[in-house]
A and B are shown apart, each in its own frame.
Chain A
Amino acid sequence: MTTVLAPVAGAAVGLRAVPDPVFSEGLVGPGAAIEPAREPGEAVSPITGKIVKLHPHAFVVVGDDGRGVLVHLGIDTVQLKGAGFELLVSEGDRVSAGQPVVVWNPLEIEAGGRSPVCPVVALDAAEGSVTTLAQGAVRAGDDLFLWA
């Protein structure tokens, strides 16, 4: 059982609200998404574990049980090539749930014509194994969903 935290502050919405079929159709996996508050902020780790993949716009944390969670900061943000993101940890680092990982600014992402919505995905999770714990307003570090 894994409790996955909200990586950013904003409004918790379903993955279906993400304007990218890869996420909204659940191709990457089940989870939730956050429509982030339109202010500069930090994205925190959704679980305790190791940062196995760290891109400026996305990261994957794997817990001691081998479960991986993907946090994607905005849609099509790979195209920004890191501009507007400041990394606070390194790939391979151990992080605690709630520990800041990336500084970013959803306002800038939106000003560039992209959606700043943040999909949070349970990787390789079985269908139906995720239960939503939050809807609407969340702070970074609040419970987002439960991964059975």
Chain B
Amino acid sequence: MAERQVTVEAEVGLHARPAATFVQTATKAPLDVTVAKGGGQPVNAKSILAVLSLDVRQGDTVVIKAEGEGADEILDQLALIASAP
């Protein structure tokens, strides 16, 4: 299981534009991807409802996980989106 831990820098947190872009990117991956806030329960990174409900704010840390072929590539992309200011 590969993972990335990043701090969310966007002022709005993982909402609106960053959340939509994050979920769109995760959805394109042919493998399961989860995201968790801090040490919390991981949720499906392909669900906009799940990601919005996580309520990730600016300065929060998220842990993104995926397993399988191409996991590192997708995690790198998602980490970039989640940490973008």
Interface residues of A (CB under 8 A from B): 22, 27-29, 52-53, 58, 60, 62, 68, 70, 72, 78, 123-124
Any A CB within 8 A of the CB of B84: no
**11 A/B residue pairs, CB under 8 Å, sorted by A:** A22-B17, A27-B17, A28-B16, A28-B48, A53-B55, A58-B15, A60-B49, A68-B49, A68-B53, A123-B49, A124-B47
A60 and B24 within 8 A (CB): no
Interface residues of B (CB under 8 A from A): 12, 15-17, 19-21, 24, 47-49, 52-53, 55
| Closest residue on chain B to residue A70 by CB atoms | B52
Q: A53-B53, A68-B49 are in contact. List 19 more A-B contacts (CB 8 A).
A: A22-B17, A22-B20, A27-B21, A28-B16, A28-B19, A52-B49, A52-B53, A53-B52, A60-B52, A60-B53, A68-B52, A70-B52, A72-B16, A78-B12, A78-B15, A78-B16, A123-B47, A123-B48, A124-B47
| A124 to B12 alpha-carbon distance, docked (Å) | 21
| A124 to B19 alpha-carbon distance, docked (Å) | 12
